[in-house]
Amino acid sequence: MSEHSQKLLLIDGHSLAYRAFFALPVENFSTTTGQSTNAVFGFVSMLLNVCRDEAPTHIAVAFDLGRETFRLAEYSEYKAGRAKTPEEFHGQVEIIKDVLAAMNIAVVTKENYEADDVLATLAQQGEQKGIDTYVITGDKDSFQLARDGVTILYPKRGVSDLSRMTPAAIEEKYGVSPANYRGLAALVGEKADNLPGVPGVGEKTAAKWLVKYGDLPGVIDSAEDIGGKVGGNLREHLDDVERNYRLNKLIDDLELPVGVEDVTWTGVDRPAVSELFDQLEFRQLGARLDALVGPEETPAEASASSLPEVTVSDSAALVTWLEGTDAEALVAVATNGTYELGSGSVDVIGLATEDSAISVDLTTLDPAAVEALAGFLTSHLRLAFHGAKTQLKALADAGYRDVRLAIDTEIAGYLLEPGARSYDLAELAGTHCGISLTEPADDGQLALDLDDGNERLTAFGQAAAAIARLAPVLTGEVDAAGMAAVLREIEVPLVQVLADMEHTGIAIDRSELSALIDEFTRQAETCAQQAYEAIGHEVNLNSPKQLQVVLFEELDLPKTRKTRTGYTTNAEALADLYIKSEHPFLEHLLAHRDVIKLKQTVAGLERMVADDGRIHTVYQQTIAATGRLSSTDPNLQNIPVRTGAGRRIRHVFVSEADAGYTDLISADYSQIEMRIMAHLSGDESLIAAFNAGEDLHSYVGSKVFGVGVDEVSAQMRAKVKAMSYGLVYGLSAFGLSRQLRISVEEARALMEGYFERFGAVKDYLDEIVAEARGRGYTETMYGRRRYLPELGSSNRQIREMAERAALNAPIQGSAADIMKIAMLNLRDAFAASDLKSRMLLQVHDEIIVELADGEREAVSEVLRTTMGQAAELSVPLDVNLGVGRSWQDAAH
Partner DNA sequence: GCTAAAGCAA
Partner DNA sequence: ACGTTGCTTTAGCA
Binding site for DNA (CB under 7 A): 540, 542-546, 563-566, 568-572, 574, 593-594, 597, 600, 604, 607, 620, 623-626, 628, 630-635, 637-643, 646, 722, 725-726, 729-732, 734-735, 738-739, 797, 800-801, 804-805, 808-809, 812, 843-846
Q: Which residues contact 261 (CB under 8 A, 6 or more apart)?
A: 129
Q: Do residues 848 and 886 lie in contact, with contact meaning Cβ atoms separated by under 8 Å?
A: no
Based on its alpha-carbon atoms, the radius of gyration of the chain, rounded to whole angstroms, reads 36
Rounded least distance, CB 572 to DNA, Å: 7
The letter for the amino acid at 35 is Q
Minimum Å gap between C-beta 165 and DNA is: 48
To 5 degrees, how large is the angle CA 41–CA 42–CA 46? 115
Closest listed residue to residue 674, CA positions, set 712, 721, 628: 721
Collapsing DSSP states into helix, strand and coil, what is residue 175?
coil
Determine how many CB atoms are found less than 10 A away from the CB of residue 293: 14
Cis peptide preceding 810, ω within 30 of 0: no
Which strand (E) or helix (H) includes residue 195? strand 195-196
Nearest-5° angle of CA 34, CA 39, CA 42?
Answer: 125
For residue 208, how many other CB atoms are within 10 A of its CB?
14
Instruction: Say if residues 811 and 819 touch (Cβ distance below 8 Å).
Output: no
Cβ proximity of 249 and 182 under 8 Å = yes
> Closest Cα to residue 465, out of 492, 425, 493, 431?
425
Secondary element (H or E) of residue 173: helix 167-174
Q: CA 158, CA 882: separation in Å to the nearest integer? A: 66
Q: Taking the complex as a whole, how short is the minimal distance between the CB of residue 98 and DNA, in angstroms?
A: 30
Query: β-strands 357-361, 310-313: how paired?
Result: parallel
Closest to 640 measured CA to CA, from 614, 604, 588: 604
CB of 747 to DNA, least distance (A): 10
- C-beta of 384 vs 649, nearer to DNA: 649
Do residues 427 and 439 make contact, with C-beta atoms less than 8 angstroms apart? no
Is there a contact between 302 and 353 (Cβ–Cβ < 8 Å)?
A: no
Whether residue 102 contacts residue 272, with contact meaning beta carbons closer than 8 Å, is answered with yes
- The residue among 481, 875, 486 whose CA lies nearest residue 691 is 875
Taking alpha carbons only, the member of 487, 506, 608 closest to residue 850 is 506
**Residue nearer to DNA on the CB measure, 201 or 388:** 388
Q: Which is nearer to DNA, 248 or 778 (CB)?
A: 778
Report d(CA 805, CA 778) in Å as an integer. 9
* CB-nearer residue toward DNA: 377 or 847: 847
Closest by Cα among 436, 435, 441 to 455: 441
The DSSP annotation for 525-547 comes to: HHHHHHHHHHHTS---TT-HHHH
SS (H, E, C) 780-839: CCCCCEEECHHHHCCCHHHHHHHHHHHHHHHHHHHHHHHHHHHHHHHHHHHHHCCCCCEE
Nearest to 619 by CA among 609, 628, 629, 604: 629
- Cα separation, 34 vs 280, in Å, equals 10
End-to-end CA distance of the chain: 85
The rounded distance, in Å, linking the Cα atoms of 495 and 391 is 11
CB 194 within 8 A of CB 77: yes
220 and 242 Cβ atoms separated by less than 8 Å: yes
d(CA 422, CA 425): 9
**Shortest distance, position 94 Cβ to DNA, whole Å:** 28
Looking at the DSSP bridge assignments, the partners of residue 615 are 506, 609
Q: Which residues of 153-171 are buried (b: 16+ CB within 10 A; e: fewer)?
A: bbbeeebeebeebbbebbb
Distance, CA of 75 to CA of 71 (rounded, Å): 6
Task: Report how far residue 479's alpha carbon sits from residue 371's, in angstroms, rounded to the nearest whole number.
Answer: 35
